[in-house]
Amino acid sequence: MLEIPLHRGTATPLYRQIAEHLKVMIDRGALAAGFRLPGTREMARALSVSRTTTAEAYSLLVSEGYVVEKGRSGSFVAPRPFPVLTARAVSDEILWDLASERPSPGLLAKSSVGRLLRSLLSKGGPELFVPAPMEGLAALRQALVHHGVLRGIPVQSEQLVVTGGGIEGLSTALAALKAQGVSRVWVEDLTFPDVFAMAQAETMEVRSLPLEEAALLAGMGQLGEGEAVYLIPSFHNPTGRTLSFEARQALLALGRKRRFWIIEDDTYGEFRYGSTSVPALKSLDEADRVIYIGSFSQLFFPGLRVGYALLPPSLRESFLAVKTKRQGPVSTLAQRAALAFIGGGDLDSGLVRLRSILSRRMDALVSALRRDLPGLPVCKPQGGIYLWLPTAPFDGKALAASARSRGVALAAGESFAWPPRSVEGVRFSVSRLDGVAITGAVRVLKEAWRF
């Protein structure tokens, strides 16, 4: 039954109010072509008006081409001769998406996850539909601890909390730190932009540090108790940079000495395709003040939103308290699907497959950029999905707009800057396109930019 707001006692007749509201719903696509409207008697009863009123409303809609009557079958929304109004007008068509972090269909573990879900739903009992513990299912937490061995992390299941993806893990960690007296968060001057809003939502001050290793470590020497630093040490977003082993040791030593917290975002840390091992900060000595954020589902099945946080014991209760008030436990069905995905070996084999695909895509991007845009410096990352292209002396926002006008989407560097400013650089992502499409997109950039 349709609910229609009516203003009784006004100058506008009720039949016209009904007709006008239905027209708006049809124009905006809420009522699609072919939708069967309730009968005039049903509508009259639901709206507490006379049947004559609803019949007049339908008659008006028929006369204006919004509704067609099909005898005893009823009244139906007519096909519209003009495009349905939408909330957002698309001004240009994206043919080559090198901006998005969303995985292409070929990266998704559709068949294996679909098989696992079907099996769970056919064989599972009531346990699939009751809330999981706030910290996550014990079996999944144990499986994730074993999986953490791949990143060299010696952790116990008591330190692990299952989260609704990496975003939830990060926002909850910031809130938990604020509850323990942290008032200032430091970020690299180019970084994952959502962290700015998250920190500000907790009324935390946000300050920036340089990206370059020596300058970053020098800047961290000023941090102290009551402060935290957010870092993406491996396959950085947006630059693709990876901190050296020596820099990792040095910043951990600083954290312990000066007693500040370190949030390690390792969302893409498992997608290494370089020849050098890249250990997580959390795997090293003196990592007792590191909060580790992971999300193995990022490219496999992002819609299920399963991630995890590895927490220092002193922060666990604050983290769970925030999670209890804000998000609650992660879906039991999603957790059991993740557990089956890990336990059946799909995660390990899937990681091998994804590393190979991403490596080939990145090779295609690097080769195409060096061939078609030889005046710009190109540095291949050791892993992940992002490549940073410095564009000095050209503004990244202007170049991204020029690319978009030709159907190529890129991320302008200023989107990642703190404090906000213009940046001479753009970010590429290889998450959406294969090598052939990437090569074609770069060829379009060559024509668009004409350096």
* DSSP output for 147-184: HGGGGT----GGGEEEESHHHHHHHHHHHHHHHTT--E
Lowest mean pLDDT among 112-116, 144-148, 180-184: 112-116
Percent of the chain with pLDDT over 70: 97
- Is 180 in the same domain as 246? yes
Strands 261-265 and 386-390 come out as unpaired
Residues 143 and 277 both lie in one domain? yes
Task: Provide the 10 A C-beta neighbour count for residue 136.
Answer: 24
Q: What is the pLDDT of residue 124?
A: 78
Q: Does residue 17 have a pLDDT over 60?
A: yes
268 and 395 inside one domain: no
pLDDT in tens, 405-423: 999 999 999 999 999 999 9
Encode pLDDT of 150-177 as tens digits. Answer: 778 888 899 999 999 999 999 999 999 9
Is 37 within 8 Å of 77 (Cβ atoms)? Answer: yes
Same domain, 371 and 232: no
> Quick one: pLDDT at residue 44?
93
Whether residues 275 and 297 fall in one domain: yes
H/E stretch holding 366 reads helix 346-372
291 shares a domain with 369: no
pTM: 0.81
| Structural domain that includes position 240 | 125-345
Do 328 and 371 fall within a single domain? no
| Contacting residues for 105 by C-beta, under 8 A, at least 6 apart | none
Q: Which amino acid is at 295?
A: S
Q: Assess whether pLDDT exceeds 70 at residue 92.
A: no
Q: Is 71 left (phi over 0), alpha (psi -120 to 50) or beta?
A: left
Q: Is the pLDDT of residue 91 over 80?
A: no
Q: Are residues 315 and 424 in the same domain?
A: no
Q: pLDDT band for position 74 (50/70/90)?
A: very high
Please check whether residues 289 and 335 belong to one and the same domain.
yes
- Cα-based torsion angle of the residue sequence 258, 260, 266, 270 in order, rounded to the nearest 10 degrees: 30
CATH number at residue 21: 1.10.10.10
Q: Is 416 left (phi over 0), alpha (psi -120 to 50) or beta?
A: alpha
Are residues 390 and 437 located together in one domain of the fold? yes
Is pLDDT at 89 greater than 80 in this prediction? no
pLDDT digits (tens, 9 = 90+) for 296-355: 777 777 888 899 999 999 999 999 999 999 999 999 999 998 999 888 888 888 888 899
pLDDT of residue 150: 72
Q: Please indicate, yes or no, whether residues 393 and 286 belong to a single structural domain of this protein.
A: no
Question: Is residue 70 assigned to a domain?
Answer: yes
57 and 101 both lie in a single domain: no
| pLDDT level of residue 80 (50, 70, 90 thresholds) | low
243-268 mean pLDDT: 96
Which of residues 85 and 28 earns the better pLDDT score? 28
- Say if residue 90's pLDDT is above 80: no
Q: 152-157: long-range contacts (C-beta < 8 A, 24 or more apart)?
A: 152/279, 152/280, 152/283, 153/280, 153/282, 153/283, 153/292, 153/310, 154/283, 155/282, 155/310
Q: Which pLDDT value is given to residue 1? A: 65
Tokens of 394: 């050209």
